[in-house]
Chain A
Amino acid sequence: HHGGRATRIFHTGQPRLAPLPPLPEYGGKVHLGLIPEEFFQFLYPKTGVTGPYMLGIGLILYFLSKELYVITPETFSTISIVGLLVYVIKKYGTSIGEFIDNLNEQIIAQLEEVKKASIKQIQDEIELEKAQQAQVQKCHYLSDVQRNSIAMALEVIYQERLHKVYKEVKNHLDYHISVQNMMHRKEQEHMIIWVEKHVVQSISAQQEKEMIAKCIADLQLLEKKAQAQPVM
């Protein structure tokens, strides 16, 4: 009793890395159901094909004659039983063999199906993985479109702001221009009024009277001309 030893060693042989080789189809060949083929091959070079059979017959006769094999009542029952067995085996042997082989094949077919189903499932998963990978590859188109739209929006905003800046600046300059214009106009008007005032002031009273008399004389002239006209 190994007190407290937790490790036990199993399967210390080399692990097999491949499936086992399949079973052989047929067993070793046997003559008469009793004697393996190797014995016949062993005697073939010296005695040919009939050698082992002659050896068998010779041995049987020798045992009988020397009574190493004693003929008892049991012999006859043995002969009948063996004969019956041989007859039954010869007649039904193949069919029983096929029946059992069918049973075996059914079991093997079931296991194969399980194996195939498992393989198919794994293959389906592999295909799914590949499809998903292909899809992921195409995602860059989506991101391209998004990038383009964002770039355009940025452009639009930039242009808008540029325009706004331009307008503001123009506004300021317009203001200055209009201020200048107004000052200019005001100066002109003021100067006109000033000049008129001084001109009016410079006209003395004497000149005013003379002017008025001349204007009246002109008017009288004109009246005379006008009266003279309609008569003609």
Chain B
Amino acid sequence: MASVVPVKEKKLMDVKLGELPSWILMRDFTPKGIVGAFQRGYYRYYNKYINVKKGSIAGVNMVLAAYVLFSYCLSYKELKHERRRKYH
């Protein structure tokens, strides 16, 4: 099942599930590539939600919500002891 477009250049949403490992392996994992990936992601988010004429609170809100979730995940280990029931 050869694809029409080579796998490397497809975007993530167009990659079929079976090709996912090969797609991940083909990504650029050098430090420059990783930094580039972070920069691309940042600018994508920035240009979509913040760098507009009439931005709403959602641009900042999503970042804060992601931070809240992330910190909850980090502190779950201590919060586990405050559970009301032991077995669920």
A185 within 8 A of B: no
Q: Are B49 and A27 in contact (CB under 8 A)?
A: yes
Query: Binding site of B, secondary structure by majority: helix, strand, loop or mixed?
Result: helix
8 Å CB contacts to A: which residues of B37-87?
48-59, 61-62, 65, 72, 76, 79-80, 82-85
- Measured as residues with beta carbon below 8 angstroms from the partner, the interface class of chain B is 20 to 34
A177 within 8 A of B: no
Q: Are A71 and B84 in contact (CB under 8 A)?
A: yes
A69 / chain B contacts, CB cutoff of 8 Å: 72
- Measured as residues with beta carbon below 8 angstroms from the partner, the interface class of chain A is 20 to 34
The distance in angstroms between the C-alpha atoms of A72 and B58, with both chains bound, is 27
**Residue of A with least CB distance to B45:** A28
**B positions within 8 Å CB-CB of A:** 48-59, 61-62, 65, 72, 76, 79-80, 82-85, 88
17 further interface pairs, Cβ-Cβ under 8 Å (given A26-B54, A30-B58, A36-B62): A24-B53, A27-B48, A27-B50, A27-B55, A27-B59, A28-B49, A33-B56, A33-B61, A34-B61, A34-B65, A67-B83, A67-B84, A67-B88, A69-B72, A72-B82, A93-B56, A101-B53
